[in-house]
Amino acid sequence: MPRFAANLSMMFNEHAFLDRFAAAAAAGFPAVEFLFPYDFPAETVAERAAAAGIEIALFNLPPGDWAKGERGLAALEGRSEEFRAGVATALRYAEALGVPRLHMMAGNADRRDAAAATRYRDALAHAADAAGAAGRDLVIEPINPRDMPGYFLNDFDYAAELIGELGRPNLKLQFDVYHRQVMRGDVLKGLEAMMPIIGHVQIASVPKRNEPGTGELDDFRIFGTLDALGYAGHVGCEYRPAGETVAGLGWLARAGRRD
Ligand SMILES: O=C(O)C(=O)[C@H](O)CO
Ligand SMILES: [Mg+2]
Q: Which residue minimizes the CA distance to atom 6 of ligand 1?
A: 35
Q: Evaluate whether 64 touches 98 at the Cβ level (below 8 Å).
A: no
The pair phi, psi for residue 240, each rounded to 5°, is -95, 115
Q: How confident is the model at residue 256 (pLDDT cuts 50, 70, 90)?
A: confident
d(CA 81, CA 170): 23
62-86 pLDDT, tens digit per residue, is 999 999 999 999 999 999 999 999 9
Task: Specify whether 141 is catalytic.
Answer: yes
d(CA 50, CA 48): 5
Closest CA to 253 of 225, 211, 222: 211
Domain ranges of the chain: 3-257
The Å distance, Cα 238 to ligand 2 centre, comes to 6
> How confident is the model at residue 257, as a pLDDT?
72
Q: Which residue minimizes the CA distance to atom 1 of ligand 1?
A: 143
| Residue 112: partners with Cβ closer than 8 Å, 6 or more residues away | none
ipTM tops 0.90:
yes
pTM above 0.90, yes or no: yes
Q: Could you tell me the CATH superfamily of domain 3-257?
A: Divalent-metal-dependent TIM barrel enzymes (3.20.20.150)
Note the helical H segments in the chain: 20-26, 42-52, 80-97, 114-133, 156-166, 177-183, 187-194, 219-228, 250-257
Residues with CB under 6 A from ligand 1: 35, 60, 103, 141, 143, 176, 179, 202, 238
34-51 pLDDT, tens digit per residue, is 999 999 999 999 999 999
Which one from 81, 141, 161, 216 is the annotated catalytic residue?
A: 141
d(CA 141, CA 78): 23
The Å distance, Cα 181 to ligand 1 centre, comes to 15
- Average of pLDDT values for 143-160? 98
The Å distance, Cα 53 to ligand 1 centre, comes to 25
d(CA 108, CA 151): 4
